[in-house]
Amino acid sequence: MNGRRRRTPAKSHRKPLLVGAGVAAVAAGAALAVGLWPGGDPGTSTGRQPSGRGSALAPESSPSASPSPDRTYPVSRTPRTIPAVREHTPARGPGWRPAKGGRVVVGDAELADEGRLLAKELGLSYAGGGEPRAGDVGLDLTDEDANPESYTLRVADGRVRISGTEEAGVFYGTRTLKQEVHGKATAPEGVVRDSPAKPQRGFMLDIARKHFTAGWIEDRIRELGDLKYNQLGLHFSDDQGFRIASDSHPEIVSKEHLTKAEVRRILALAASRHITVVPEIDSPGHLGAVIAAHPDLQLRNARGAATGGAVDISKPAAAKIVDELLDEYADLFPGRYWHLGADEYQALVVADPEASYPQLAAAAAKAYGSGAGVADLATGWLNDRAKTMRGHDRTLRAWNDGIFAGGTVQADEDLQVAYWTGKEIGARQPAEYLRSGRDLLNYNDEYLYYVLGQPNTFVYPTGQRIYEQWTPLVLRGTSPVPKQYDDQVLGASFAVWCDLSGSQTQAQVAAGIRMPLRALTQKLWDPREPSASWADFKGLADKLG
């Protein structure tokens, strides 16, 4: 995006972090210099074995290692960050914090954006290329064959060095450093080696039912970036509104909407934080805003009664307008991923879809043979929209209740399953999708759905429940799928849905999702069970801001 060199984590990157393997001892003789403060006579920096082999997020009172301190510096403690770092090799030394005269330097011009951002945040000067001297932070790209989101952060010899194989990893290292020195604290001496457990870590926002300002979305992007999320989903079309300006179909756009200029600013900010924006135009249901401008596309049953939000997929004009919108917004959103929706098509919630919607049954039989039904026609619609987006080279996902079992027509094999519910028709157990070889994304509505107004038995999720009870394998309800499927669960997304849009203000939404977002990133980044209590975790979050 924006010409930046980025590689998105794939399955090959889901190998476990090698905790404690081949970690070099921290160099001796760390000197007191710019960016440090007097802590006694200069001492010896002594390497220690990595901490972090046990449970994650150690309580604040626990040191990362327990040898007696020497005459100058105690052994360093594991940094306390959200998400927790997965490995820290402690050492003796004064550590580092930003001070007057300190600089950020980069060993690769492609890290200029990361360097400028960190310098601004820490009150340092950005010096461009060069070697870090005492008091500086150096950012580097390496040729190591590693997860592109991994990084190494070394504090030694009065300076900080952050390296990774890709810009994203280096950026995450700067987020760790930013948290380490928050509130005039000290980045501890030693080496952090860190990498995420899950390659997709997302937040999804329903901007269709409720208009969110560009500024509010940008604030969330900054928050997400600091928490090491890498996806922002935007659901911008639904029955209540269509919230991004359109050149191909301006007649469908709601009065309150984002301009394309605003979207481009959002995309640029997201790219600078290594966040991919994942658009969703849900179809063939949830298209009420389109139908309001094109009532001839409304699905009607055998009695002529309108079916809310649903287009008549037997009409070529319905596919034409949706494909025109997909093509238009593919040009606006350059990211790798696209969400096709496909959930809650109301023609399929009745007892006998073929009898209730004879025009759909006839179209299914014509397209796929006499044994085909309305579910087959809906699956064919999904596959056709996938074909449109494959022309834009996108990795595609759809809601689990839009991918049906059996039938004449099967959903394309490369569609990732966004698993959110077991309540809707067509919603099979997660293990059924996993056994068939599909990759899943966890949107579990029991823990990860923040639905404004709490309709239909929804309750606002809490960070504590996510932190204490949820794991990425808990895809439906409260029970996990077998561990053998861990690699097929690509990650998870917290989702804000605005069913009763007036129930909360933007500020209330931001406050309500604050701790759930922090708990979720902890569970997606570090697969170990946290040892710190929820109270300690919340206290850390409050301290870090």
* Nearest residue to 78 via CA among 89, 67, 69: 89
| Strand pairing category for 276-283 and 231-237 | parallel
Catalytic residue among 344, 354, 468, 529: 344
Distances (CA, A) of 421 to 12, 435, 477, 532: 28, 18, 8, 30
* Nearest residue to 124 via CA among 193, 215, 187, 213: 187
- CA 182 distance to own-chain centroid: 24
- CA 262 distance to own-chain centroid: 21
Q: How far apart are CA 475 and CA 431, in angstroms?
A: 9
> Which helix (H) or strand (E) is 338 found in, with range?
strand 337-341
Q: Which residue do the tokens 């649903």 mark?
A: 310
Amino acid at the residue 103: R
Structure tokens given for 19 = 């905790």
Strand partners, 449: 495
DSSP state of 476: B
* Nearest residue to 230 via CA among 166, 177, 290, 152: 166
Q: How far apart are CA 203 and CA 519, in angstroms?
A: 13
* Nearest residue to 194 via CA among 212, 179, 214: 179
Q: At what angle do helices 167-180 and 112-122 cross, to 10 degrees?
A: 10
DSSP state of 242: B
Residues 94, 37 contacting (CB under 8 angstroms): yes
* Nearest residue to 137 via CA among 196, 117, 185, 27: 117
Task: Output phi, psi for 437, to 5 deg.
Answer: 95, 5
Structure tokens given for 539 = 């206290």
Q: How far apart are CA 518 and CA 108, in angstroms?
A: 31
Q: How far apart are CA 149 and CA 147, in angstroms?
A: 5
Active site residue 144: no
Length of the chain: 545
Residues with a catalytic annotation lie at 344
